[in-house]
Structure 1
């Protein structure tokens, strides 16, 4: 049986963060009910395509704030997946969470529902920084959320941490990461803040109300954070992700391994049969269409072999284990060494990649300018 990932976008927030450009709307109970019914309808619409030919080995509730909706509705959504595909008994079932939504009662119900991995959006343990970026929790609530989750049996916990924030220092980053690690998290997603057009922080920078760290400072923050994590046995397995051995995020690895997944909910993206497609970013339209069994999915890209090869190279090089030229040949029936001999020579001569036996990896310098490296493989 082929393995499949399922991503479910929960588009509700109490308050949108100042840096966020993901699709989300303000939660209310009526919209939660409509949304839940629409999601179940959409999942059932895949019955013929999947036809129990797939086994679901990862489910990921992202957002938005998935923990804002009732645990009973999360259970109904999970139960509906088993109507269209088999679910692996060892499936990784992840859910993103804001610290102040993780109550004892909710955590108990999440465990009973089958959720076994939490991704907690901590970002920083400096309260001034949290206010600046518009988070609705404070540092005390963040640490308490980790403790509470562990008390209820969650061992597989990710913490999101952010760097490159105005007024942030390397000491802030080292302090945040050290205190998170001391709480026993097994995975950290370590992201650089990017200002997206249309967000409050973008507008503030345009008006010179905030100043972003310069490029050298941004890189220094990244290096300092990486050192703290690797000293504490959280090893880098992807450009922005670090984990204790055995705790890499299996769902996100699907993206980097170019494996198939379906996206459920407004704005969710899918990759099936070499086609990338998405749902409209409009909750009202999504609910209306879904209940009417009118799934107006937007085809983003029908990928040919050349496009699939480039994307595969780009995704695999994000991983510290790199790209295996033997696996590349199996997948595409193309000899990697012959096809990219000039690129390999140029990038190795400039110490941007390492090539040992059949494994191609980015060097640390290559990671810093990874987009430049990827562009070398474009045709």
Structure 2
């Protein structure tokens, strides 16, 4: 059986964060019910397309999935299980805002099979949280970890953000120290990037906020990474750190160029070498599924060369890098010969490490990973 990841986009928020450009709308109960019926119909639409697959990861992302009634999440999981088998050891993740995690909901999540939480903490500094539009405070964030652990969740990720206007290195270090003290097993540690059209982007354009200088952004990253690694979490991807064995299996599918489908408005899929997505409009999404005519937006059908370059780009995000034998078998080619000049240049400049089995980014290479990827791309 082929393994398949399933992403479910839940496009509801109590309040949209000032940095977020993901598709989301304000939640209400009636719209939730309409959305769930559409999702169930979309799952049914895959009936003929997924023969021979088994789902080994399911990821509820958003938006704020923990706004939705657990009963409706259960219906979605049951419909997936009617479509294709769910592996008995499947990783089932739900993203959560700290102040939406009640004991009642956590108990319900355990009962429907959710075994991994990803909590959007971002910072424990209340002023920073207000600035970026989060609707929780630092105490609520720490309490949500305690509550999750009390209700039997061990596999917990915390999202932590740096490069926020007004943020200091000590803010970043303090946040990471405190969440690790709570027993967090996984940290996604990422830099704020201003996306066009978001409130923070507009504020920056109007000179109402000033982004940190690039050198200070790097200082925050190095300081945060140092704290994480001092607590024995290992870096396995540019922005992700974990206790061994708690890597996010679903996200590894993206970085390993494995197949997945995305359900819900704006959700993206990669199936049979085709990348496609759903429209980023809940009303249109629901209307189309009511009449059984959901049209997927085809982004690209990847050629062998496309797949090869994308595989290099994705695998270089991982600290283990590119397995040369795996690459050669996957693409029936000789990696070392094909990229001989690029490898020589990057190795001489201390941007990659090379041995007989792997090519991976050095610490210096990770800092300028986009440049390294461009060098490989220049061969086409």
- TM tier, shorter chain? over 0.9
Partner of residue 262, structure 1: 261
Tell me, in whole angstroms, the C-alpha distance in 1 between the residues paired with 2:110 and 2:289.
29
Partner of 1:198: 197
Alignment of 1:37-76 (within 5 A): 37-51=37-51, 53-76=52-75
Aligned to 1:319: 318
Shift of 1:157: 0.2
Question: 1:335 maps to what in 2?
Answer: 334
Does the residue aligned with 2:319 lie in a helix, a strand or coil?
A: coil
Specify every segment of 5 or more residues in structure 2 that has no aligned partner in the other structure, as ranges: none
Matches within 5 A, 1:202-213: 202-213=201-212
Deviation at 1:293, TM superposition (A): 1.2
Instruction: Give matches, 1:365-376, under 5 Å.
Output: 365-376=364-375
Secondary structure in structure 2 of the residue aligned to 1:83: helix
CA RMSD of aligned residues (A): 0.5
Moved over 4 A (4+): none
TM-superposition CA deviations, 1:328-350 (whole Å, max 9, x none): 01100011011000000000010
2:79 aligned partner? 80
TM superposition shift of 1:81: 0.4
- Residue 129 of structure 1 is matched in structure 2 by 128
Alignment partners' CA distance in 2, 1:183 and 1:292: 48
Q: In the aligned structure 2, how far is the partner of 1:330 from the partner of 1:147? A: 46
Q: How much does 1:357 deviate?
A: 1.2
Shift of 1:84: 1.1
Alpha-carbon distance, 1:377 to partner? 1.1
Query: Superposed, which structure 2 residues align to 1:1-379 within 5 Å?
Result: 1-51=1-51, 53-378=52-377, 379=380
Mapped to 2, the partners of 1:316 and 1:230 lie a distance apart of 21
Distance 1:54 1:273 in 2: 12
Once residues 288 and 185 of structure 1 are traced to their aligned partners in structure 2, the CA distance between those partners, rounded to angstroms, is: 41
5+ residue gaps, structure 1, are: none
Provide the rounded CA distance (Å) in 2 between the counterparts of 1:47 and 1:187: 35
Residue 287 (structure 1) shift? 0.6
Partner Cα separation in structure 2 for residue 32 and residue 310 of structure 1: 40
Q: Deviations over 1:53-82 (max 9, x none)?
A: 111000000000000000000000000001
- Distance in 2, matches of 1:63 and 1:363, equals 33
Q: Give 3-state SS (helix, strand or coil) of 1:22's partner.
A: coil
Q: CA deviation at 1:292?
A: 1.4
**TM superposition score normalised by structure 1:** 0.99
Aligned-partner Cα distance in 2 for 1:317–1:71: 37
Distance across 1 between alignment mates of 2:376 and 2:350:
16
Shift of 1:130: 0.2
Question: 1: distance between equivalents of 2:302 and 2:20?
Answer: 29
Count of aligned pairs between the two proteins? 378
Structure 2: distance between partners of 1:363 and 1:372: 13
**What is the CA distance between 1:169 and its match in structure 2?**
0.5
Structure 2 distance, partners of 1:291, 1:7, is 21
